[in-house]
Chain A
Amino acid sequence: MTGITLKKKILIVEDDRHIAEGLRLNLSLRGYDIMVAPDGPAGLREWREWKPDLIVLDIMLPRIDGLSVLRSIRLEDERLPILILSVKGEPEYRVKGFSYGADDYLSKPFNLEEFLLRVERLLTRAAWNSHSKPTEADLDPAYHVYTFGGNTIDFDTLTTHCRLGRVTLTEQEVKLLKLFIANRGKPLSRSELLEIGWGYTGTTSTRTVDNFIVRLRRYFEDDPHEPVYFRSLRSVGYVFDHDSH
């Protein structure tokens, strides 16, 4: 393994400059390689490009909030250790964080020593896991084969059996589907879909989302003009839902 000689990389997604700088200082004193991202989109970008071994994530972030960043990462990577560091310490927020797939949750203000030990422990455990290759079992079973209505989506082969017959899905379609499935029954705004699904922010046209929804409806809806699964919500966005089976 090459990781033994390399420094472990930690990405800090934190908008408060002072806190970010303080974390960077302490973590580099412990011998880690540090990158700081001041907002959600930057965090997602660094996660993709820099490939950190651990992410320290704030929740209240400009542009894309931490929970959306977390969900977005978990759509693609179930294993990356993520520690949430937030001023919101109440159990309801912790539960929310963990339910979206956080590995650890510390509320601010925190104890420095405790934070450093938790980071160390998370990295140690991740190192054990990385000896074994990610197996199928690591992924959420829902992401192998998912059925709703008369449709079946196979996430391993990226194909679907739907009303159009057997269709091969594009990577982007798969991502969007995973996002919808992960948020079943919960309305997602166009900008949320763009930000989480594509990693875009700001001025990019939300028409992109609409076009994808048209495509998904053509695949999965019995009548694409009277959608049952991918419904539009006026002035909100879209919601995916279906009867349980």
Chain B
Amino acid sequence: MQPIYLSVDTQGVMLYVSCRDIHASLQGVSSMNRFRWFYHPVLIFVFSVIALAASLCLYLYWYIGVSAGLTSVIQKYNLDPSQFFEINTWVVILVLSILVGIILIGVFVIFIYNQKTLQLYRLQRNFINNFTHELKTPVTSLKLYLETFAQHDLSREEQIKYVGYMIHDVERLLNNINRILNLARIESGNYWKEFVEVDLVGTVRQFYQNNADLFRNCEVRIYNPIEKPLYCPINPLLFDMLLMNIMTNAVNYNESDHPRVDIHFVPLKKGLHIRFEDNGVGIEKSEIRKIFRMFYQVGNPDNMTAAGGGLGLYLVQQIASIHRGRVTAESEGKGKGSVFALTLPRRVQVEG
């Protein structure tokens, strides 16, 4: 369950009280959180449903009691029942149930919206957290060199070297900005309908050659059992993005002395299966499903060793689904490498 976020103020005050007791007071805060369970929206929702059901029962109970009393009064004084009203218990029950049902639906809708808002809030937090590092690092480097240039007269060679760094930083910044913009475009889903039939083996080879500097320390082997081109309709731009994400993950999350990625092509009857096997850090069993979530990053938030946007695999999954394919991850566990398996259909029906 997501921890309840405390306002920064309370934490701040507690932390200033005593830095030595930082952990103790933080733990105090978290034990306080345990008593906040009754604030949780699911519980509020359940309580209101129970309250509503109970009130429906009470309405009916009172109604039946009152109408029985009325009937007995009518009988006692020998009045004409039709003079008062036509008592139709079932209609009343029906009407009450419908009204309660409508209220119930209303509560449910509010509950769903509330959950969505919370989810978006979390997403936003994660987004800021993840991209702070990715965006600020190149800016820091740029600022550093610009200030250096302003202060010192460097030799021409040095200038060229550092200007090269700065260009590289601007590219990094641009890449990050593009990733964020692409996310928005993929999310909207309308832009990617042009599919081209291409040979995927060739595409992957080409990708490897184009980005050779990325895989400088990493051995990439491509296996194609039937040694013929394998055609598949893809959107080249998106597919490039997918390859880039899978491959950079394989290279970045690799602590082996000889990083390696094996790409196996397996033709299927109605599609194509591509396995990207690396000898990297692997994935914990419990994490395998979560890694495809937006902004998800392996490890706890306190662990500041990993950097990254938490977007890569989410994009991979989205791109696979735009191709009517799917992507899964397999791993024997931490430190045992991981496999990303992409399945694409040979034909893509694009509606619209």
Contacts and interface: CB of A to CB of B under 8 A. Distances in A.
Contacts of B162: 22, 25
Interface residues of A, number: 40
A90 B147 CA distance: 24
A56 B253 CA distance: 25
Contact of B19 (A16, A95, A113): A95
A111 B137 CA distance: 14
B46 interface: no
Contacts of A110: 140, 143
Interface string B179-214: 000000000000000000000000000000000000
B23 A95 contact: no
Interface in B1-51: 8, 11-12, 15-16, 19-20, 22-24, 27
Given A25-B148, A95-B16, A63 B136 contact: no
Given A22-B144, A26-B148, A95-B16, A63 B23 contact: no
A202 B133 CA distance: 24
Interface of B is mostly: helix
A180 to B, nearest CB: 12
Interface string A89-122: 0111001101100000000111111000000000
A29 B149 CA distance: 12
B188 to A, nearest CB: 30
A66 interface: yes
Contact of A16 (B8, B141, B152): B141
A87 B16 CA distance: 22
A237 to B, nearest CB: 12
A191 to B, nearest CB: 10
Contact of B143 (A26, A96, A109, A185): A109
A19 B140 contact: yes
B348 to A, nearest CB: 39
A61 interface: yes
Contacts of B305: 40, 60-65
Interface in A135-189: 183-186
Given A91-B8, A95-B16, A99-B19, A112 B147 contact: yes
Q: How large is the interface on B (under 10, 10 to 19, 20 to 34, 35 or more residues)?
A: 35 or more
Given A66-B304, A87-B133, A108-B137, A99 B20 contact: yes
Contact of A18 (B132, B169, B255, B335): B169
A23 interface: yes
A79 interface: no
A77 interface: no
B157 to A, nearest CB: 13
Contacts of B141: 16, 18-19, 22
A39 B136 CA distance: 19
Interface of B: 8, 11-12, 15-16, 19-20, 22-24, 27, 132-133, 136-141, 143-145, 147-148, 151-152, 162, 165, 168-169, 255, 303-307, 335
Interface of A: 16, 18-19, 21-23, 25-26, 29, 40, 59-67, 87-88, 90-92, 95-96, 98-99, 108-113, 183-186, 202-203
